[in-house]
Amino acid sequence: MIDTIILCGNSIDVQGSGVIDWIFAKHKNPDTPPDIAAANRQLSWLEEQLSKSTADFIFVVGHYPIYSVSEHGPNQCLIDKLDPLLRKYNVSAYFAGHDHNLQHIRITKRMNESAPTTSNYIISGAGSRTDRSSRNSKSVPEHSLLFRYPNGWNPFSQVGFSSGGFIHVTIKKKRADLFFYSGKKEQKYRMSLVARK
């Protein structure tokens, strides 16, 4: 688990002084760490841990999403600082919250001159309620969003009038299965990851 606030700063909806500030904020995604030295130490620590791992699966967890089609969209600071490490060390998936929904995004891209790598980004932030926002659907690579829950529009979802959702993960030697559920325990989606070796 990493601290995305140390890496990139705090978001206005978390740090702002009130609801009015949040509503009228022009900038919601953090892009600058409050302490650059602390951010660099955390990245160095993470790289050291990833480089030593021989695990069949590696999951990195942070509060802010790297990629999201919802309210908090792609976070350029995390794309620049964190994503290259996840790809370099073949991390199985990056889990985040912050957006109040469930998402599975898979992106294949080439880093420098190396072979293309594929990364899975899992959003599981629907524990308390669900947000149907698709504000940043055009900000992620085309066809990279494989699943999002909920869909549609509900004006009351942000004030708690929704059932939320969660993800259940089962890990075996060669495969990890992720089951995405509504708050009413209805399975909405399933995906599998293969072991890194």
Burial of 78 (0-12, 13-18, 19+ CB in 10 A): buried
Q: What mean pLDDT is predicted for residues 126-144?
A: 83
The residue type at 58: I
Pairing of strands 102-109, 93-96: unpaired
Domains of the chain and CATH, by start: 4-163 (3.60.21.10)
Q: Is the pLDDT of residue 156 over 90?
A: no
CB 152 within 8 A of CB 165: no
- pLDDT tens for each residue of 55-110: 999 999 999 999 998 888 899 999 999 999 999 999 999 999 988 899 999 999 88
pLDDT computed for residue 15 by the predictor: 52
In the numeric block, the tokens 């992620």 are attached to 140
The residue type at 34: P
CB 95 within 8 A of CB 111: no
pLDDT computed for residue 18 by the predictor: 63
- pLDDT tens for each residue of 116-129: 899 999 999 888 77
- pLDDT tens for each residue of 23-54: 666 556 678 898 999 999 999 999 999 999 99
